Amino acid sequence: MAIDTAIQERMNIVIVGHVDHGKSTLLGRLYADTGTLPEGKIEKIQAICRQQGKEFEYAFLFDAFLEEQQQGITIDTARTFFTWGDRQYIIIDAPGHKEFLKNMVSGAARAEAALLIIDALEGVRDQSKRHGLLLSMLGVKQVTVVVNKMDLVNYREDTFQAIEKEYREFLTQLNVVPQYIIPASAKQGINITQVSPETPWYTGPSVLDSLAHFHLETAESEQALRFPLQDVYKFDARRILVGRLTAGKLKIGDRLVFSPTNKSASVQSIEAFNVDPPPTQAMAGQSVGITLDEQIFVERGHIATHEETRPLVSTQIRANLFWLGNQPLEIGRTYTLRLATREAPCEIAAIHRIVDANNLDDRHTQSMVQRNEVADITLRTKSPLAFDLYANFETTGRFVLVDNYDVAGGGIITELVADEQEDFRTEARERDSAWVKGDVGAEDRSLHYGHRAAVVLLTGPDITAKSFLARKLETVLVAEGRHAYLLAAENLHRGLDADLHDLKPEEMVRRFGEVVRLLTDTGSLVITTTNAFPQATKGIVKTVQTLANPIPVITVHMAKNQDGPQPDRDLIFAGPEDFEVCTHQILETLKKKGILAEPQGSQAAVQFSI
């Protein structure tokens, strides 16, 4: 059947339920009774049934695979298209039994609403509850429940009401309020496309009419801009930022903010392959490249948005996770998080709730998540992550976890968890959005100095000669013609912090970070230590990284010896060290990270990444 070209809306609906509760039969009847099946479809299936000696069933219209018909169950997510009124429905028929639960999850993850089927004769089963739980944890909040096979209980009102009461109470615990709970018989066509006299006590809509009450999410092109960067290409003197717009629109002249670094610039051009003339705007679903009016440091995984609708940023998120890994998910173990185009190391900071997807039992052990379990968890990333809540943006609100190169789990983000840097991060974002810039940009300074701005932060016990190494590093850099400066926090205490008579550590660190930010804005290489701070070094490092963002912070840890666990730093020197060698290693690290070019006066060209 041809699709009406006037159709404006599309909606994804997943249909789920216990095996044999009649999902495919309901869909077959729905399609047949509305005349929306392709011509000859019913006759073809009827002929197959006669050939196999079977009684025709509407379920066979959708159980297209021979293996499925032999087993009598649906084992994969089948997508069909259904047109009614001014809307096109994309129906995702998901499997209902636990062996194929993964496919059910993948189907539900694409849905905006759900039809959930319950057998009136069998009542609410464990899997009926399981499906309700998974829909809730995957963010599907619009649900219509169909109590099918009412003909097998003689359309008794008390049977229906008992099922309705039990299941409504269960869904309420999941914060899901079903729009309708409908008594029906898919086999007999009762209450499928229109309300039937067999249930005179029922005053709600038919299954077909209930679909019109599902509200459509805002069209992706009408949402706020989300442009995750796939890569940065260099052609001639141009740097082209490429990716796919997952939401919103952009046009030439738009001011963009790149999260989590908070760098901003305006769109100078929009590039598209084999398009003449070049486009002046782009919208959700298109893959494009853009150039900016100034050279700022951005990279794969950054998310470009308009300033007034920036994504959330934190190092901690709360999420609902479905785990499919062969090994259990464990607290403290490192995994790779993939969100849009970003990959980031992460660990499980907390497991709040674990539900066994096979029996819906809550487990009391909160240290690991087993295969096929659903968990409410908090994830912690090493560096700030830009993201959205799944309820607001699908692509930037869902993620997968990789364990040993295999995708082992997936989930949706439900909440931002404020970390200890949240106040500093908010302050930095507000400051950067209103930053008054001169006519000399970061690229101009880097080309002049032969290096990008950066911070070298030395940590470790006071007795490890951090200050000596810091002074030596500054001497070598300046001798090479670099714009380097040794920032001693003790000097700030005697001047900028002189008013802090009651010694407020957090404010001391904040002011220190802002001074670092000012110095790096001049294009300097700032060298400093944590000697003068009374609070934990880990917090100082994170604060400086937050306030200096997006300026790279190279952390160098000097330990007394090699015994004991070492912190996560770019370089670690343990025990007595040759400071000449240490300095050389720091310089090499700066070069590897694209911060230093060849020293001035050398024959090599000054080249490094911006």
Task: Give 282-334 pLDDT, tens digit per residue.
Answer: 998 888 999 998 888 888 999 999 988 999 999 999 998 888 888 999 998 99
Does the pLDDT value for residue 540 go beyond 70? yes
Q: Are residues 388 and 480 in the same domain?
A: no
**What pLDDT sits at residue 235?**
77
Q: Kindly state the tokens that stand for 29.
A: 């009847």
On whether the CB atoms of residues 93 and 27 are closer than 8 A, the answer is: yes
Q: Are residues 128 and 110 in the same domain?
A: yes
- Looking at residue 269, which CATH number applies to its domain? 2.40.30.10
Q: Are residues 203 and 232 in the same domain?
A: no
563 exposed, middle or buried (CB, 10 Å; 0-12, 13-18, 19+)? exposed
CA nearest to 399, candidates 14, 223, 390, 378: 390
Residue 475 in any domain: the answer is yes
- Residue 491: pLDDT band (50, 70, 90) is confident
Q: Higher confidence at residue 605 or residue 136?
A: 136
Domain limit, last residue, from 309, 341, 369: 309
**What pLDDT sits at residue 76?**
42
- Could you report the per-residue pLDDT of 102-136, keeping only the tens digit for each? 444 544 555 778 889 999 999 888 778 877 877 77
Q: Are residues 227 and 351 in the same domain?
A: no
The identity of residue 257, as a single letter, is V
Structurally, the chain folds into a number of domains equal to 4
Q: Higher confidence at residue 68 or residue 560?
A: 560
Domain limit, last residue, from 281, 309, 337: 309
Residue 45 in any domain: the answer is yes
CA nearest to 146, candidates 116, 123, 124: 116
CA nearest to 448, candidates 522, 550, 553: 522
Residue 610 in any domain: the answer is no
Please give the average per-residue pLDDT across 373-396, as a whole number: 89
- Residue 478: pLDDT band (50, 70, 90) is very high
Does the pLDDT value for residue 607 go beyond 70? no
Does the pLDDT value for residue 72 go beyond 50? no
d(CA 211, CA 473): 69
Q: Are residues 201 and 104 in the same domain?
A: yes
Q: Are residues 243 and 376 in the same domain?
A: no
The identity of residue 591, as a single letter, is K
Residue 47 in any domain: the answer is yes
Q: Are residues 98 and 133 in the same domain?
A: yes
**What pLDDT sits at residue 561?**
76
Residue 162 in any domain: the answer is yes
Place of tokens 């992706």: 220
Q: Kindly state the tokens that stand for 503.
A: 């010694």
Q: Of 181-190, 235-244, 519-528, 596-605, which range is least confident? A: 596-605
Does the pLDDT value for residue 442 go beyond 90? no
Question: Could you tell me how far CA 39 lies from the centroid of its own chain?
Answer: 42
Q: Are residues 167 and 236 in the same domain?
A: no
Question: Could you tell me how far CA 563 lies from the centroid of its own chain?
Answer: 38
Task: Classify 565 as helix, strand or coil.
Answer: coil
The conformation of residue 497, written as its DSSP 8-state character, comes to T
Rounded to 10 degrees, the C-alpha dihedral 211/96/38/197 comes to -50
On whether the CB atoms of residues 63 and 54 are closer than 8 A, the answer is: no
The conformation of residue 68, written as its DSSP 8-state character, comes to H
Q: Are residues 149 and 53 in the same domain?
A: yes
Q: Are residues 499 and 531 in the same domain?
A: yes
Domain limit, last residue, from 263, 294, 309: 309
- Residue 589: pLDDT band (50, 70, 90) is very high
Residue 607 in any domain: the answer is no
Name the residue range of residue 387's domain. Answer: 312-419
Place of tokens 């008013």: 499
148 exposed, middle or buried (CB, 10 Å; 0-12, 13-18, 19+)? buried
Report phi then psi at 457, rounded to 5: -110, 120
- Looking at residue 188, which CATH number applies to its domain? 3.40.50.300
Q: Higher confidence at residue 133 or residue 358?
A: 133
d(CA 416, CA 396): 13
Residue 599 in any domain: the answer is no
Q: Of 34-38, 202-206, 380-384, which range is least confident? A: 34-38
d(CA 565, CA 263): 35
On whether the CB atoms of residues 391 and 365 are closer than 8 A, the answer is: no
Q: How many CB atoms within 10 Å of residue 535?
A: 13
On whether the CB atoms of residues 570 and 557 are closer than 8 A, the answer is: no
d(CA 307, CA 390): 20
Beta-carbon contacts of residue 221 (< 8 Å; ≥ 6 apart): 247, 248, 249, 283, 284, 285
The identity of residue 33, as a single letter, is D
Residue 571 in any domain: the answer is yes
Q: Are residues 438 and 555 in the same domain?
A: yes
Average pLDDT, whole number, for the chain?
A: 81
Q: Are strands 9-17 and 342-356 parallel, antiparallel or unpaired?
A: unpaired
Does the pLDDT value for residue 378 go beyond 90? yes
d(CA 552, CA 456): 9
Q: Are residues 59 and 167 in the same domain?
A: yes
**Which own/partner contact pairs does 392-396 have at CB distance under 8 Å and 24+ positions apart?**
393/223, 393/224, 393/226, 393/246, 393/247, 393/311, 394/246, 395/226, 395/228, 395/246, 395/247, 395/340, 396/226, 396/228, 396/246, 396/303, 396/311, 396/339, 396/340
d(CA 22, CA 62): 12
Q: Which helix H or strand E contains 320, and what residues bound it?
A: strand 312-323
**What pLDDT sits at residue 163?**
95
d(CA 102, CA 106): 6
Tabulate helix, strand, coil % of the chain (nearest 5).
30, 30, 40
Q: Is the dihedral of CA 491, 494, 498, 502 positive or negative?
A: positive
